[in-house]
Chains A and B, each alone.
Chain A
Amino acid sequence: AQSVTQLDSQVPVFEEAPVELRCNYSSSVSVYLFWYVQYPNQGLQLLLKYLSGSTLVKGINGFEAEFNKSQTSFHLRKPSVHISDTAEYFCAVSRASNTGKLIFGQGTTLQVKP
């Protein structure tokens, strides 16, 4: 079975500061890794995904994430955040053999302050 742990439930940060949202996963089989963003009362929007290849993945809105197999981590970063980045962020995994069936972490609320 797979599991995902997001280490921070809330991350407050000032506008234009860098941010890192942490995600660790556990799995005995090959997995794909994802980061999604959710705005209030809305569905999920894919920020980026790691399937294979380069461990540094670039996504939309200036976000990037690095896959670290030895540390089983997939942390999300952005060098300079905006007020509009305030949202809930979810890390998720799926088995490489069953894409689409996602196991989500608990979520991290990013609060960008002016």
Chain B
Amino acid sequence: GAVVSQHPSRVICKSGTSVKIECRSLDFQATTMFWYRQFPKQSLMLMATSNEGSKATYEQGVEKDKFLINHASLTLSTLTVTSAHPEDSSFYICSARTGGGRNTEAFFGQGTRLTVV
């Protein structure tokens, strides 16, 4: 199956700094990528939809100036958490969609554990 790689898998940063998370589709072109956030023992909440070459679409309640998303190529989307605070600590997961039509499937990265100290 298609492979989505997320980097880094774990990151610890100081409060007030910014951190970038990369999501790469390794063996397919992903016109659309999705970013999710997962709090401990909770479900995944969609943060934004990232389309190659255009601005990301953010879900209600997600601060677009805090969570910057860039989808500069068909294989790479990045999520930058700006001016991170401890409450931003979470598990961030991306997924990438291949192709189109009814059999389109989203493949997930392995996630990034962000800890802000």
**Interface assignment of A7: CB less than 8 Å from any CB of chain B:** no
Chain A interface, number of residues (Cβ within 8 angstroms): 22
Interface of A is mostly: loop
A73–B18 Cα distance when bound, in Å, is 42
* Interface size classification for chain B: 20 to 34
Contact with B along A75-114 (1 / 0, CB 8 A): 0000000000000001000001001111111110000000
Which A residues are within 8 Å of any B CB, using their own CB? 32, 36, 41-46, 49, 51-52, 90, 96, 99-107
Give me 8 A-to-B residue pairs in the complex whose CB atoms sit less than 8 angstroms apart, sorted by A's number. Answer: A41-B111, A42-B111, A43-B108, A44-B44, A45-B108, A49-B105, A100-B104, A107-B42
Which B residues are within 8 Å of any A CB, using their own CB? 4, 6, 32, 34, 42-46, 49, 91, 93, 95, 97, 102-106, 108-111, 113
